Amino acid sequence: MTTEVTAPSITGEVLPADRFQLHESEGALDIERVLDVLNGRLAAYRVRHFVPAAQCATLTRNFWDSPHRTPRYGEGAEGIEAHILGASHIDLSTRDYLEAAADAREAVAALYDGAWDPIARLREALAERIGVVRPAGHDGREAGPSKAVCWNNDSREFLLLPHDDLAQLSDPLQAGFEIQRVRRVMAVNVYPHVPGGRGQLRLWNIAPDDRSRARLGLSHSGYPYPPELLTGHASLTVPVATGDLCVINGNLVHAVLGGGSAAERGRLLLTCFTGLVDDEVLCWT
């Protein structure tokens, strides 16, 4: 059960202390812990060295060698500076996102030339327990399998400011898209490259409610929550490293920590959002 909490400017649901935890394993995937995150019984689960070093090197090389890698530059203190391979649904209509996903499908497949797809392996394991695991769809078209992202603004306090993942799935631009039926997001992250000591995840034990998002002007973005408004909420850090797989409760506010130097190519992430539709179908976008 979740309980209601009231804090200055951000209200919502919190996990009981025994659920707001990070579970870790080495190498092998513990599918029960993944299901715990998916169903809101655990904040985060990390598999250390899920992807072998040689595979990580191949994925990283393929990313930087790809002619389809796109730079994305933000503006001002809240901007995101990144390189992206694959389609992102953020700020796009359902039609435009699904067309972008179709256009990027071959480029994403080429990312895995000479390597295996760790997100696909996770989905295979989940399918053995859930039954139906598939991309979110709309009018016969499907979401992309994943995307690869590298933020290159390591010198800031945050590579990515505090945010939640559920809000951005409610964008009216994507009305009718199947993923909007998800009520709890499990973010899937795989790390082919993490510079030492940088790019760690920070989670806060608060899943903001609609009232808080509206008050902060974040109703359909969930980004960014002012860090100073999170000081009253318990937090934990996930110390991700090269080769790790991490799944997190994406309804909780979370951020990516920076603090390094931009001299070294930064944290490379393979990612997608997943969630249950009607408690029996796992979809992703």
Torsion of CA 57, 60, 66, 68, to 10 degrees: 150
Distance CA 283, CA 181 (A): 10
C-alpha distance from residue 90 to each of 28, 170, 221 (Å): 32, 11, 8
Predicted confidence (pLDDT) per residue in 36-56, tens digit: 999 999 999 999 999 999 999
User: So what's the pLDDT on residue 6?
Assistant: 45
Share of the chain above pLDDT 90, in %: 80
Least confident of 29-33, 136-140, 157-161, 191-195: 157-161
SS3 for the chain, per residue? CCEEEECCCCEEEECCCCCCCEEEEECCCCHHHHHHHHCCCCCEEEEECCCCHHHHHHHHHHHHHCCCCEEECCCCCCCCCEEEECCCCCCCCHHHHHHHHHHHHHHHHHHCCCCCCHHHHHHHHHHHHHCEEEECEECCEECCCCEEEEECCCCCCEEEEEECCCHHHHCHHHCCCHHHHCCCCEEEEEEEECCCCCCCEEEECCEECHHHHHHHCCCCCCCCCCHHHHCCCCEEEECCCCCCEEEEECCCCEEEECCCCCCCCCCEEEEEEEEEECCCEEEEC
Position 263 confidence tier, pLDDT thresholds 50, 70, 90: very low
Predicted confidence (pLDDT) per residue in 5-18, tens digit: 544 579 999 999 99
| Mean pLDDT over each residue of the chain, to the nearest integer | 91
Position 262 confidence tier, pLDDT thresholds 50, 70, 90: very low
Predicted confidence (pLDDT) per residue in 167-188, tens digit: 999 999 999 899 999 999 999 9
Position 74 confidence tier, pLDDT thresholds 50, 70, 90: low
Position 198 confidence tier, pLDDT thresholds 50, 70, 90: confident
Domains of the chain: 3-284 (2.60.120.620)
Q: Is the pLDDT of residue 213 over 50?
A: yes
Q: Is the pLDDT of residue 77 over 60?
A: no
User: So what's the pLDDT on residue 8?
Assistant: 53
Average of per-residue pLDDT across 263-268:
70
Q: How many CB atoms lie within 10 A of CB 98?
A: 26
Position 264 confidence tier, pLDDT thresholds 50, 70, 90: low
